[in-house]
Amino acid sequence: MLEPVRAEGSAAIWWERETFLSSESDDNRCPAVIDVTGQARYLTYGPFIELRPGFWRARVLLEVCIDAARRRLAVQFGVEPAYTTVELPYGVPGRHEIVVEHRLAEAGPVQIRLYLQRAAFHGEVRFLGAYLERLGDPAE
Amino acid sequence: MLVARGLSKQYPLDGRPRTLFRDLSFDLERDGRLALMGRNGQGKSTLIKILGGVVAPTAGEVKWSMSCSWPLGFGGGFHGGMTGLDNIRFLARIYRRPAAEMIERVDEFAALGKALGMPLKHYSSGMRARLAFGLSIAIEFDCYLIDEVISVGDALFREKCEEELFGVRAQRAFVIASHDLEFLRKTCSRAIVIESGRAKMFNDINLAIDVYCAISDESHRAIGTAATTATMAA
């Protein structure tokens, strides 16, 4: 398992997997391995931590097996009801760093969601966590 | 009740083992309705044959505590050199049913008329299906194994089959392999989806249909990509 390491002197915030929520486990925490089998749904979501307004970049780290790579997965970043969505590259297994940039007009409980866009027969995803970086003020 | 435990099926293909499914376990109650879904060649018919005792699994076991039909749609139970009437008499003896009553019931349902006196090798697939259905209804089973045969024949015959099976015998158990998703949605409550060497049970038929549709779309997409690549390479 690859564990992300914060770069020396980086201003990024690290939200680890355990910070996120999921309906895939009994304790509602994001499990180490998510089985994508089932209907279209959010595989993990949250953590509803408030960020100050500004232009933010999320770098979401996850791993997908070959079966999950053939599913339509997307990462969404934002505050209800406004999200920015980036799809995972189709058919590419392994580790991905998905970069999603989003402008928060006002402070609010932020979510990063991993969205399975269609029902899936088989596949596994390891959601590792996300780096967040504030790039500038809302007006910039 | 039907209890299947740890079912696996492999067969050699081009000198290498091909797995249809492995470690499949499920139960079926006396009034359960189970759909089998999957693309062509994934193993639906093989699973039906395993349940019906026609094909042996590579591993695992099937235990029946209710009577089950032969896999409807599978012609292996008939003797092609014998007439329809003789096949009915033969099965009547095996299942210990009065032959005359069986012939009457089969003829009434299958409406094959004089064709019952012809050897089965001269029957069309539709006629064989009518005979198989007529026999299974005349014998009366607790569980019916159905392999796409519902779609054989004309609309009237199909209606008749559906009424006899799912109307008159509503409290019986059914295992149905089919590509007719609306038919499965209407008649089944659960489904096993078989794909690429895996079989999974879905306790919600609507979810199973969603999953199967996604598989089909992915498959078409992959075929389209391969065709485009081949065209570009040419």
- B175 and B141 Cβ atoms separated by less than 8 Å: no
**Burial of B90 from C-beta contacts in 10 A (0-12 / 13-18 / 19+):** middle
Provide the token pair at A103: 């402008």
Contact A38 B218 (CB under 8 A): no
- For residue A125, being part of any structural domain is answered with yes
- For residue A12, being part of any structural domain is answered with no
Name the closest residue on chain B to residue A69, using Cα atoms: B218
B23 to chain A, any CB pair closer than 8 A? The answer is no
pLDDT at B118 over 90: yes
Range of the domain at A132: 20-136
What DSSP element (H or E) covers B59?
strand B59-64
- B208 and B195 Cβ atoms separated by less than 8 Å: no
Q: Which residues are CB-contacts of B68 (< 8 A; sequence separation ≥ 6)? A: B2, B51, B52, B141, B142, B143, B144, B145
Q: What is the pLDDT of residues A78-98, one digit of tens each?
A: 999 999 999 999 999 999 999
**Other residues' Cβ atoms within 10 Å of the Cβ of residue B119:** 14
Rounded to whole angstroms, the Cα distance separating B78 from B125 reads 12
Percent of chain A scored above 70 by pLDDT?
Answer: 90
**Number of domains, chain A:** 1
Contact A118 B217 (CB under 8 A): yes
A37 to chain B, any CB pair closer than 8 A? The answer is yes
- A54 and A73 Cβ atoms separated by less than 8 Å: no
Tokens 């559906």 belong to residue = B162
- For residue A103, being part of any structural domain is answered with yes
Q: What is the pLDDT of residues B35-45, one digit of tens each?
A: 999 999 999 99
- A29 and A21 Cβ atoms separated by less than 8 Å: yes
Rounded to whole angstroms, the Cα distance separating B61 from B126 reads 32
Q: What is the pLDDT of residues B90-101, one digit of tens each?
A: 999 998 999 999
**Cβ contacts (< 8 Å) between A38 and chain B: which residues?**
207, 211
- B184 and B150 Cβ atoms separated by less than 8 Å: no
CA atoms within 13 A on the CB side of B198: 12
Tokens 């997997």 belong to residue = A17
Contact A119 B196 (CB under 8 A): no
Give the gap in angstroms from C-alpha B64 to the nearest C-alpha of chain A: 29
- For residue A104, being part of any structural domain is answered with yes
pLDDT at A9 over 90: no
What DSSP element (H or E) covers B198?
strand B198-202
B191 to chain A, any CB pair closer than 8 A? The answer is no
Question: Concatenated DSSP letters for B168-180?
Answer: ITTTSEEEEE-S-
Domain CATH for A68: 2.60.120.260
Q: What is the pLDDT of residues B123-135, one digit of tens each?
A: 988 888 888 888 8
- For residue A33, being part of any structural domain is answered with yes
- B68 and B109 Cβ atoms separated by less than 8 Å: no
Considering only B13-27, B52-66, B147-161, which range has the smallest mean pLDDT?
Answer: B147-161
What DSSP element (H or E) covers A53?
none
**Cβ contacts (< 8 Å) between A35 and chain B: which residues?**
none
Contact A119 B207 (CB under 8 A): yes
Q: What is the pLDDT of residues B43-77, one digit of tens each?
A: 999 999 999 998 999 999 999 999 998 887 656 67
- For residue A74, being part of any structural domain is answered with yes
Residues 109-138 of A with CB under 8 A from B: 118-122
Give the gap in angstroms from C-alpha A120 to the nearest C-alpha of chain B: 5
Torsion sign over Cα B93, B95, B97, B102: negative
- Of A106, A105, A117, the closest CA to residue A36 belongs to A117
- For residue A2, being part of any structural domain is answered with no
Provide the token pair at B201: 């049970």
**Other residues' Cβ atoms within 10 Å of the Cβ of residue A102:** 21
- For residue A29, being part of any structural domain is answered with yes
This complex has an ipTM of: 0.79
Give the gap in angstroms from C-alpha A37 to the nearest C-alpha of chain B: 8
